Structure 1
Amino acid sequence: MLYLLPLLLAVLLTVLALRRADTRRRGLRVAAGLLAAAGLALTALPPTRARPAAAPGATTAVLLTPGYSSDTLASLLARLGPGTPLWRFAPTTTTAAPDTPTFHNASAIRAGLPGLRRLHVLGQGLPAADVAALAGTALEAHTDAPIVGFRQAAWEARPTLGEVWTVSGSFVAAEAGPVWLRLHAAGTVRDSVRLPRGRGEFRLRFTPRVAGRAVYALEARGNDQPVAREPVPVEVLAAEPLRVLLLAAAPSFELRFLKNYLAGRQYAVALRTGLSRGLTQTEFLNLPSPPALGNLTPALLGRFDVVLTDAATLASFGGGETAALRTAIDNGTAGLLLLADAPTLPRQLPAGAGFGLQARPAAAAAMAQGLRWPEAPAGATALVPATLRPTEGLRPLVSLGAGGQAVAAARRLGLGTVAVSTITETFPWQLGGQVAVYEAYWSRLLGAIRPPRPAALSIAPLSHWPRPNAPLELRTTGATTGPLTITEPTGTAVSATLRPDAQVPEWSTATYWPAAAGWHEARTGAARQWFYVYASGQWRGPEQPHWQLAAAQSAAAPTVAPATVESLGAGGMAGREAWPRWWGYVLVVMGAGMLWLEEKL
């Protein structure tokens, strides 16, 4: 019916114009009536037309990040067209450029360009964590040149006080030439390495002597000029003292030096030494209420974490003592280290079938041999009377420098660990001033048999390189008793809501947006965790592969919804749109005005 109203109006106005007695300007009256009727039709029922697909500039934009090339930008704009939106990414307001509109986070990009379908990113790229905020947008990375400086780096974020700590990675200089890499810690240079060609892998070591948080630094220098410098935050933890039970068949320098060394590290130590048949001597250090060191019983073993003994003592155990020791190891409440000072291993050794001694020739056993293990200091040598045959499930701990045969190895037994060492004299390292070798060796062996600790409530950041103005996921493990609270470097406390994990009930995650670089403390219940947030320009090299992978995955994902695809017609049309109604209003006013004016004339 709506279609007939304009037609009836046109017929009515035409008939009225023709029936007037005055025949002058009859054609003008008919034309004015038809014009008014046409305007009414356009107003009530505006026609539609095919809408062409949006121009490239409306759905495509260029984003500049630090390190972009002006030549690449000029070439890209020539290909996309001069109307392509050009933006700059600056994570902080202090780095914003006044000549180009600037985004400070990925969410602002989506809000500022709602119709964006493809984003060309020039330079070093976006933080990998920001890619999720641009879901549905194809990201095309234009990496002009690889980032120079530290390309990869890895270190233990929470090292133990007194243990050797390492930082390793790779470095690439802008120009070929020798470069020195230095590790700054505790106010001075602790280790350095020279890269003759200005590129390659590195490994630097340091033994922390003070517990607490610290920010070490990796520095690269070429031609006596600084080339790059990156922070290395660590939280040095005080060593958790072990409770050690030493059992010896006879007095020895080896256990005497070991007892004093462990006691100096605040370990709780109990020593039982055989003097003659039926006569023993006991010593206790750092044990306020020492137990009676008679036969091994479950109650006695429950008071110690590690049992260290020699072959003669282990061979003297009865059936009850052997069963108690095996049960403690199997339950994960104690670990066992045997000093194999006899040609054969005692049959009482738990999991003894997995160990096998292989005697060395007398001439070779009388000469000190070089030893190696991960993080072993230089100059580790000792007398090696025998080696351990490799068997399935055996994990070497210390090996000969030449030949690689294991001289100390461990294997699992239930939840615990049993280890055997054929090196029976390490005290010469103490006498010779090789304290670092002594500490590293015993830290290696005792750490291998340390019983596992029960899992407690913990907090961990899921990103290796958190940055300001980028989302950071924090995961808690264990039962939580309240919200997650983050204390920023300024002292401001921020609360984050924990979300239970759908797959692992013990996990919960929270999203936090750091506002500043520096140390942050996360707390929930009794759990505490410090984590470091890097400034926007720090450690860009290791993060670049993550950004490139995220950008490639975004480019491979579909960017147009199925409903939009169905609405696209042939010839690149994106649907239909109605003509503006104001055209009809204009025609109605013009037609009515002409009729009124003609009647007055």
Structure 2
Amino acid sequence: MIDTDLFQNSYLLWPVAIAASVLWILFVWKEWSTPIKKRFYFHSLISLITILSLAMLALKPLSKRVVQSNAGVLLTNGYSQKHLDSLKKSIKGITILDYQENAQIGQVLDSLGNLFVLGNGVASYDFWQFENRSVRYLGAEVPSGIIDLKYTQENVLGEPLKIEGRYHNARASHRLVLQDGNSQGLDSLEFNSETIQAFELSTPLKAIGNFVFQLVEKDSLGEAILKEPLPFKVIDKNSLKILLVNSFPTFETKYLKNYLAEMGHEVVVRSQLTRGRYKFEYFNTKRIPIYRFGEKELENFDLLFIDGTSFRNLSTRSWTSIEKTIQHKGMGLFVQSEASLFDRSSKRHGLEFEKDGIPKATLNEFPKVLLEKFTFRFKDVDGIEEIHTSKGNLVTAYKRIQQGRIGASVIQNTYQLQLDGKTGIYRQFWSEIVNKLSKKKTLLTDWEVTNNFPLENHPFQFELRTSIEKPQVFSTDKYQIALRQHVDIPSLWSSTTYPKNKGWNSLLLKDKTHVGLDFFVVDSTTWQSLRTKRRQKANRRFFTAISDSFVERTITASIHPIWFFLVALFGFGYLWVYPKVFQN
């Protein structure tokens, strides 16, 4: 079947085809009586080519060819002039565009087949303009300064504020200092000559409220050359109800119960003396002994610590009650380390271990502190989630069991940290375990943001999960913010607002019984290195996802008729001259 898209005058295809066929049949009939058959076949071929050339003159056939589309380069902040000159040299006539945030450039991009982006990239709220386009992000140099930062913006009273990050192109002998709101130094470190340096600072939190500390870089003379605000919130302790079960009193339990009590938790300790006889201790709670592990007795506990021997000796009935409380009530279970924990025949906890032969380890959080451990490590299997790691190996981990969690650790004798004066490390070690495993409270309202350092008059996106059927959200200036409900999750709402004031701002629900959101708006001159690195990373991820290769454009054009005319002229000339010159 003939493709009609191959001809400019495709509507003449059938008339021309019929006329050409009739002409060729007439020519063949005329030449049929030629006595020399070779001459007949040759003349028939010449006539066919000539008639087809005439047909092509009428139909005007088209040809398709692939050409490179027009290219453009979008210049964003931080672009390299060297890269731009290289592009201009390799692609003649390339279109140069200057990027402006929130500017509409869709029409300009429509005229370009391929686009290069130089510099730090475009803002994430402008990504929509580049969807379904061929874009290659060439990037820019990594900025000097803090390029990675990790810390918790909502902390619990009594727990340490921990700041981790990476600094690019730090100067040797410069110091990074964590200061409070009164510019008092709380923690510090000195940089060396490495290009990229990891840093970690911490300080205990002693009051409730909203705070703004600072990360300050000082030179060798002690002069501040860089100040970055560090906003965070401190909330009151969430008192947990914890049960500790031991087959006999141990130093590990002694120090652990004291730490939990100091944190304000309600603690019940049950230590076995002889068969059927127990010793009970109570901290911050009523004196109610726990003799049996029934669902009714366990349902009010948030977390259960149990040593390996007691865990192994649990009756089937007791374990069934514990398992149901974990699954349906969300209680956490931590099995304390001892040799029986690693018995392969014990399948209750669902955790898998393998021998590594290493008796000591340093945790990633505390690289200079050597801890005792059993010569095992967790198997990194599906469903296992980390709490502590050591050089890529899991040493404290847990598995989710429906609403609750079961965890354990191969680290042992952590009380030695207390004896060695490393109280802060001891508390952080157990705090992370308690926070990960304890029963999760059901929140009526939960806020989530992706930008920890929003800017004044820039879009600030947030999500709200709430049990309120039709929530109403108001800004600090008492303006109502329109919400968009998720299509499939009716309790999930999202929106974008443009904060007008620097410093602490709030998003408030009309229903005062639900918690609002506090966020800190920073000045555009702060956290420039961090925001630049994050923008580069977001651009690299976005443009790689939408365009793996450049677009090739196909154009269609008519074949020049001179070629068909010359073929037809030659054919007619030969058929007209031959009988006159070469007659027998």
The TM-score, its normalising length taken from structure 2, stands at 0.64
Q: What is the aligned partner in structure 2 of residue 445 from structure 1?
A: 433
Q: What is the aligned partner in structure 2 of residue 253 from structure 1?
A: 251
Map residues 393-472 of structure 1 onto 2, 5 A cutoff: 393=382, 397=387, 408-423=396-411, 425-454=413-442, 456-472=444-460
SS at match of 1:527: coil
Answer yes or no: is the 8 Å Cα contact 1:331–1:414 preserved in 2: yes
Q: What is the aligned partner in structure 2 of residue 129 from structure 1?
A: 125
**Within the alignment, does 1:473 sit opposite 2:461 as a pair?**
yes
Q: Percent identity among equivalent residues? A: 20
Answer yes or no: is the 8 Å Cα contact 2:457–2:500 preserved in 1: yes
How far is 1:206 from its partner? 0.9
Task: Mark the CA change 1:535 to 1:125 in structure 2 (over 3 Å): closer, same or farther.
Answer: farther
How far is 1:325 from its partner? 1.0
**Within the alignment, does 1:331 sit opposite 2:328 as a pair?**
yes
Task: Mark the CA change 1:127 to 1:319 in structure 2 (over 3 Å): closer, same or farther.
Answer: closer
Answer yes or no: is the 8 Å Cα contact 2:395–2:411 preserved in 1: yes
Instruction: Supply the distance in 2 between the matched residues of 1:172 and 1:435 (Cα, whole angstroms).
Output: 32
Answer yes or no: is the 8 Å Cα contact 2:363–2:369 preserved in 1: no
Q: What is the aligned partner in structure 2 of residue 516 from structure 1?
A: 501
- Which one-letter code corresponds to 1:387 in the other structure? F
Q: What is the aligned partner in structure 2 of residue 387 from structure 1?
A: 376
Q: What is the aligned partner in structure 1 of residue 316 from structure 2?
A: 319
Instruction: Supply the distance in 2 between the matched residues of 1:144 and 1:316 (Cα, whole angstroms).
Output: 62
Instruction: Supply the distance in 2 between the matched residues of 1:334 and 1:192 (Cα, whole angstroms).
Output: 40
**Within the alignment, does 1:496 sit opposite 2:481 as a pair?**
yes
Answer yes or no: is the 8 Å Cα contact 2:177–2:189 preserved in 1: yes
2:271 to 270, 273, 276: 273
Instruction: Supply the distance in 2 between the matched residues of 1:74 and 1:347 (Cα, whole angstroms).
Output: 65
- Which one-letter code corresponds to 2:291 in the other structure? G
How far is 1:220 from its partner? 3.6
Answer yes or no: is the 8 Å Cα contact 2:267–2:282 preserved in 1: yes
Instruction: Supply the distance in 2 between the matched residues of 1:282 and 1:214 (Cα, whole angstroms).
Output: 41
Answer yes or no: is the 8 Å Cα contact 1:241–1:266 preserved in 2: yes
SS at match of 2:431: helix
Q: What is the aligned partner in structure 1 of residue 210 from structure 2?
A: 213
How far is 1:342 from its partner? 4.9
Task: Mark the CA change 1:515 to 1:323 in structure 2 (over 3 Å): closer, same or farther.
Answer: same
SS at match of 1:523: strand
Answer yes or no: is the 8 Å Cα contact 2:139–2:536 preserved in 1: no
- Which one-letter code corresponds to 1:246 in the other structure? L
Task: Mark the CA change 1:264 to 1:129 in structure 2 (over 3 Å): closer, same or farther.
Answer: same
Instruction: Supply the distance in 2 between the matched residues of 1:66 and 1:342 (Cα, whole angstroms).
Output: 59
Instruction: Supply the distance in 1 between the matched residues of 2:343 and 2:150 (Cα, whole angstroms).
Output: 42
Instruction: Supply the distance in 2 between the matched residues of 1:143 and 1:353 (Cα, whole angstroms).
Output: 46
Answer yes or no: is the 8 Å Cα contact 2:119–2:139 preserved in 1: yes
- Which one-letter code corresponds to 2:480 in the other structure? S
Task: Mark the CA change 1:223 to 1:548 in structure 2 (over 3 Å): closer, same or farther.
Answer: farther
Per-residue CA deviation, residues 330-358 of structure 1 (Å, 9 max, x unaligned), is 33521222224355668996624644586
How far is 1:500 from its partner? 1.0
Aligned Cα RMSD in Å? 4.9
Answer yes or no: is the 8 Å Cα contact 1:257–1:427 preserved in 2: yes
Task: Mark the CA change 1:133 to 1:185 in structure 2 (over 3 Å): closer, same or farther.
Answer: farther
Per-residue CA deviation, residues 358-386 of structure 1 (Å, 9 max, x unaligned), is 697xxx9xxxx54333423632433x455
SS at match of 1:331: helix
Task: Mark the CA change 1:85 to 1:250 in structure 2 (over 3 Å): closer, same or farther.
Answer: closer
- Which one-letter code corresponds to 1:475 in the other structure? E
Answer yes or no: is the 8 Å Cα contact 2:351–2:378 preserved in 1: no
2:193 to 196, 213, 217: 196
Instruction: Supply the distance in 2 between the matched residues of 1:340 and 1:548 (Cα, whole angstroms).
Output: 44
Task: Mark the CA change 1:126 to 1:293 in structure 2 (over 3 Å): closer, same or farther.
Answer: same
SS at match of 2:300: coil
Answer yes or no: is the 8 Å Cα contact 1:124–1:147 preserved in 2: no
- Which one-letter code corresponds to 1:148 in the other structure? S
Task: Mark the CA change 1:318 to 1:122 in structure 2 (over 3 Å): closer, same or farther.
Answer: closer
Answer yes or no: is the 8 Å Cα contact 1:521–1:528 preserved in 2: yes
Q: What is the aligned partner in structure 1 of residue 568 from structure 2?
A: none
Instruction: Supply the distance in 1 between the matched residues of 2:238 and 2:487 (Cα, whole angstroms).
Output: 34
Instruction: Supply the distance in 2 between the matched residues of 1:551 and 1:392 (Cα, whole angstroms).
Output: 33
How far is 1:297 from its partner? 0.8
- Which one-letter code corresponds to 1:202 in the other structure? A
Answer yes or no: is the 8 Å Cα contact 1:499–1:510 preserved in 2: yes
Instruction: Supply the distance in 2 between the matched residues of 1:421 and 1:66 (Cα, whole angstroms).
Output: 48
Q: What is the aligned partner in structure 1 of residue 179 from structure 2?
A: 185
Instruction: Supply the distance in 1 between the matched residues of 2:412 and 2:355 (Cα, whole angstroms).
Output: 15
SS at match of 1:241: coil
User: What are structure 2's unaligned runs of at least 5 residues?
Assistant: 1-71, 89-94, 551-584
How far is 1:143 from its partner? 7.6
Task: Mark the CA change 1:464 to 1:552 in structure 2 (over 3 Å): closer, same or farther.
Answer: farther
2:301 to 301, 304, 310: 304
Answer yes or no: is the 8 Å Cα contact 2:116–2:135 preserved in 1: yes
Instruction: Supply the distance in 2 between the matched residues of 1:353 and 1:139 (Cα, whole angstroms).
Output: 48
Task: Mark the CA change 1:412 to 1:146 in structure 2 (over 3 Å): closer, same or farther.
Answer: closer
Instruction: Supply the distance in 1 between the matched residues of 2:78 and 2:434 (Cα, whole angstroms).
Output: 48
How far is 1:259 from its partner? 1.4
How far is 1:167 from its partner? 3.7
Q: What is the aligned partner in structure 1 of residue 361 from structure 2?
A: 371
Instruction: Supply the distance in 2 between the matched residues of 1:426 and 1:500 (Cα, whole angstroms).
Output: 48
Q: What is the aligned partner in structure 2 of residue 151 from structure 1?
A: 147
- Which one-letter code corresponds to 2:465 in the other structure? T
The TM-score, its normalising length taken from structure 1, stands at 0.63
- Which one-letter code corresponds to 1:273 in the other structure? S
How far is 1:293 from its partner? 1.2
How far is 1:194 from its partner? 1.2
Q: What is the aligned partner in structure 2 of residue 292 from structure 1?
A: 289
SS at match of 2:519: strand
Task: Mark the CA change 1:279 to 1:71 in structure 2 (over 3 Å): closer, same or farther.
Answer: closer
Per-residue CA deviation, residues 5-35 of structure 1 (Å, 9 max, x unaligned), is xxxxxxxxxxxxxxxxxxxxxxxxxxxxxxx
Instruction: Supply the distance in 1 between the matched residues of 2:446 and 2:421 (Cα, whole angstroms).
Output: 40
Q: What is the aligned partner in structure 1 of residue 492 from structure 2?
A: 507
How far is 1:271 from its partner? 1.2
